[in-house]
Amino acid sequence: MDEQNATSMDLDFLELAQHFEYNNSIDDQTLSQIEQLIEDEVNVFDGIGDLSLTQIDFNLTQEPVKPENVIKQLDHSDDRFGKFYDDDDMENLLKSTESKNTRKNTSWSVKTFKEWRSARIFGTGSEIPELEHLIEPALINKWLGKFVVEARRKDGQPYPPKSLYMLCIGILRYFRECGIHENFLDEKDSKFYEFRRILSARMSELTVLGVGTRPKQAEPISKETENELWEKGLLGDWTGKALLNTMFFYICKLFGLRGVDEHRGMEIDQTELGVDRYGHFVKFKGRSNKTFKGGLAQRHVQAKEMVHHFQNMMLYNMYQKYIEIITKCGESRAFYRRALENGPNNELRFSQQAICVNKLAVIMKTIFRRLEFRVILRIILESAL
């Protein structure tokens, strides 16, 4: 092998030397440089012969081909994959995609069962297994059946039928987290037929008693109430708070954003103002929300994207003004910013700090409390005249 390399190097050297016109300017230094170049090429290709094709991942046009360059690029060939996840990272990834309400429902269901279990053991001396040990169908039928019949709220009143079913959903989800893959709510699974009969009978009984037949429901905001919000200055652009209220109110109304988390995660680039053949518009580009997570089951579902065309340019100008102001307020991309007092020249000002989730959750409640207060104050003043 060494003799072949030496012979090949001698031939390459002779071929390369033929390209130079012989004269006295070619000295020993020039010849030694040519020889060094050939030796580098031989060393590189000798090293490549020992590598598999999957290990060769470098661009010959970016750097001179030298042994040290090849080794350097091979050492960094795995940078494309970024961070390698351990078990804790995988667990955090799974938790990050879970809805907070889902986690709250699971915790509430498990806590309610544990409290019922403790109370029943204390009151009757029954031997009730821990929830994660309810593996046998007979145990599930017996103890979950008694649980759905005897479960009560903290005030001692029975749970409405829907809440009772949600308790079962939370326990089922907890079973799966514990590695218990028994679906006691599956109508095709005859092993849990007894439990489903008990649950159905209890829900029917509660319905007959009128428990949960009048669910709480928010009343829609009438056009008259909306106009009154403008008249009382709770909506508008005369202060930062009024403009913030206007943005929140009409994003709820025009685009149907209801969940606080969706408002909290909203960023500036999710709204787009523009003009088309139908007039001025605002476009909302949705992302992850309560009903859309973008997971495997929703791979064919697109995030919602809605466009509203304005008949009144006043509201469009307010959107434009608000976005221009908050875009200049620091590097934060959050859409909802904390409103500040008007400046010396009565200019609107906003902080670069995003509004916390607790404040966002009560914006509408605060608006209508102020409206009621002003109505009551007006009545008092009119009666005093």
What is the Cα–Cα distance from 284 to 270, expressed in whole angstroms?
A: 6
State the DSSP H helix or E strand holding residue 150, giving kind and residue range, or none if neither: helix 145-150
pLDDT in tens, 32-75: 555 565 555 555 445 545 544 444 444 444 555 555 555 555 55
Q: Environment class of residue 372 by beta-carbon count within 10 Å: exposed (0-12), middle (13-18) or buried (19+)?
A: exposed
Quick one: CA dihedral 75, 77, 82, 83, positive or negative? negative
Give residue 303's pLDDT band: very low, low, confident or very high (50, 70, 90).
Answer: confident
- How far apart CA 282 and CA 284 sit, in angstroms, is 7
Q: pLDDT tens digits for 185-209?
A: 999 999 999 999 999 999 999 999 8
Give φ, ψ of 58 to 5 degrees: -145, 160
Per DSSP, helices labelled H in 274-312 are none
Where along the chain do the CATH 1.10.443 domains lie? Answer: 223-384
Helix (H, G, I), strand (E, B) or coil at 189: coil
pLDDT at 79: 67
Task: Provide the percentage of residues in the chain whose pLDDT is more than 70.
Answer: 74
Is the pLDDT score of 381 beyond 70? no
The percentage of the chain sitting over the pLDDT mark of 90, rounded to a whole number, equals: 44
pLDDT of residue 323 exceeding 70, the answer is: yes
What is the chain's alpha carbon radius of gyration, rounded to the nearest angstrom?
A: 36
- In the CATH scheme, what is the code of domain 223-384? 1.10.443
Between 79 and 172, residue with greater pLDDT: 172
What is the rounded CA–CA span in Å between residue 316 and residue 308?
A: 10
Task: Give the chain's mean pLDDT.
Answer: 80
DSSP string, 232-255: TTSSSSSSHHHHHHHHHHHHHHHH
Alpha-carbon gap, residue 173 to 206, rounded angstroms: 24
Q: In this predicted model, what pLDDT tens digit does every residue of 109-165 receive, in sequence order?
A: 999 999 999 999 999 998 999 999 998 999 999 999 999 999 999 999 999 999 999
Res. 289: pLDDT tops 80: no
pLDDT at 91 over 70: yes
Do residues 19 and 12 lie in contact, with contact meaning Cβ atoms separated by under 8 Å? no
> What is the per-residue pLDDT for 215?
65
Q: Which residues pair with 309 in a beta bridge?
A: 281
Cα(146)–Cα(214) distance, integer angstroms = 26
Strand partners, 305: 285
pLDDT, position 263: 85
Residue 28 Cα distances to 6, 31, 33, 203, angstroms: 20, 5, 9, 101
Which whole number is the average pLDDT over 309-336? 91
Q: Which of 115, 363, 119, 331 is nearest to 249 (CA)?
A: 363
Integer Cα distance of 21 and 42 in angstroms: 25
pLDDT at 23: 47
pLDDT score of 18 more than 60: no
